[in-house]
Chain A
Amino acid sequence: MVHVASIVPISLTVGANRIVPAVAIPYPLGNPELPKDEERGLRLNLVKKALRALQMGVEKQTVFEE
């Protein structure tokens, strides 16, 4: 499992092992200020990043920053 989370410290506290930081609390996988296609691109990239995290072996809690 990978946790795409707006507040990383909470994700760490509750024990997620793979964490991908999200955009913002009311829109973790979006940004209403962007044009629709750019926003869709941003979401696609975040989901790809989450999938990459699932393909990586981790020993302990890991935050996938970049």
Chain B
Amino acid sequence: MADKKYRVVHYLNQFYAGIGGEAKANIPPLIKEGAVGPGIPLQQALGEEGEIVATVVCGDSYFAENIEAAAESVVESVAPYKPDVFVAGPAFTAGRYGIACGASCAAVSKKLGIPVVTAMYEENPALELYRKEVYIIPTAGSVRGMKEAIPKIASFVWKLGLGQEIGLPQEEGYFPRGIRVNQFVDRTGAERAVDMLLSKLRGEPFQTEYPMPTFERVPPSPAIRDLRSTTIALVTSGGIVPLGNPDRIEAASASKFAEYNIAGVDDLTPDAYQTCHGGYDPVYANDDPDRVLPLDAMRALEKDGIIGKLYDLYYVTVGNATSVANAQKFGKAIAEKLKAADVGGVILTST
């Protein structure tokens, strides 16, 4: 077929590139020649026609904290390799990694004008941020889905590399980008709509031509009028728990939240509190848990009379690949408890 190989540059985070875990999550973008980590099976799946000429690697925290600058720097690293296709991930449920994959792809596509593709799980928060600009292929929720993900990504890269036309999402297996394409059909909209309605009334399956987005939005709570007479509660998804994590909140994919009494506690110290979150470098939070759950500051404001009272309980879970369904369940349960306790405001902190 093609006598000239198409060139691919691959994006990975520090973990998949084998550089390190959370302790290395702060490294700025760097480039490695050839395929690395998941790039190796990807290269095998691409076969003879495509070649991963380089791999860009960046720490997840570095990227997520400097999205625009990091994406720009990825573009600069990629450009000299003159790739035909840019591919990132797969990121599965990893939120920071998903953002890095999406933002890199979007920037490379915009600045270098080459086709891009990434892959992640449907609940990755980066999906909604980048699906309009970037082809995103669905994967399983964890790295156990790598084996199934690689051939799908490879066949997409192959099509992009050979400049083939990409069809509709349901044919090609990527997340719909919300782009409407004109097409001619035999029957008018009125006829099609009535057919759909009749099917619906008969309880038969039908497919909408214009699916509505399913974001759950809540109306903003009203402003607090008098802070001095209001009880404020602290809630965190950053995993701050009493030392030893007595309720065994999972480091990732949390199945529960917990409440702990902080009455009489003025400061969170390392001999009594720690983080149980598995998605960021725990050194700083373990050294001073107030960096995630600002109890010392709230206590000071309570003493100064700025707030009426700091609520005696705080609520905690781990927001690390936690399913949206679980997160919503926790949120509702926590909100009900706080309302019942006449708490008038909440500061929710996230890492």
Contact = CB atoms under 8 A, between A and B. Distances in A.
Given A24-B65, A48-B301, A59-B220, A2 B347 contact: yes
B262 to A, nearest CB: 15
Given A17-B220, A54-B345, A26 B99 contact: no
A66 to B, nearest CB: 18
Given A30-B284, A51-B227, A44 B300 contact: yes
Contacts of B292: 27-30
Nearest to A56: B223
B294 A46 contact: yes
Given A4-B349, A29-B292, A40-B297, A13 B125 contact: yes
Interface in B302-351: 306-307, 327, 345-351
B300 to A, nearest CB: 6
A41 B49 CA distance: 58
A44 B297 contact: yes
Give the secondary structure class of B's interface.
mixed
Interface in A11-31: 11, 13-18, 22, 24-30
A24 B298 CA distance: 20
* Chain A residues touching B, range: 35 or more
A63 to B, nearest CB: 13
Contacts of B300: 44
A45 B259 CA distance: 26
Interface residues of B, number: 53
A43 B64 CA distance: 21
A57 interface: yes
Contact of B285 (A7, A22, A26, A50): A26
Given A10-B95, A28-B349, A57 B128 contact: no
A1 B64 contact: no
A22 B306 CA distance: 21
Nearest to A1: B346
Interface stretch (B110-118, B150-158, B211-219): B211-219
A22 B346 contact: no
Given A6-B64, A7-B64, A32 B287 contact: yes
Contacts of B221: 1, 17
A56 B347 CA distance: 14
Nearest to B328: A14
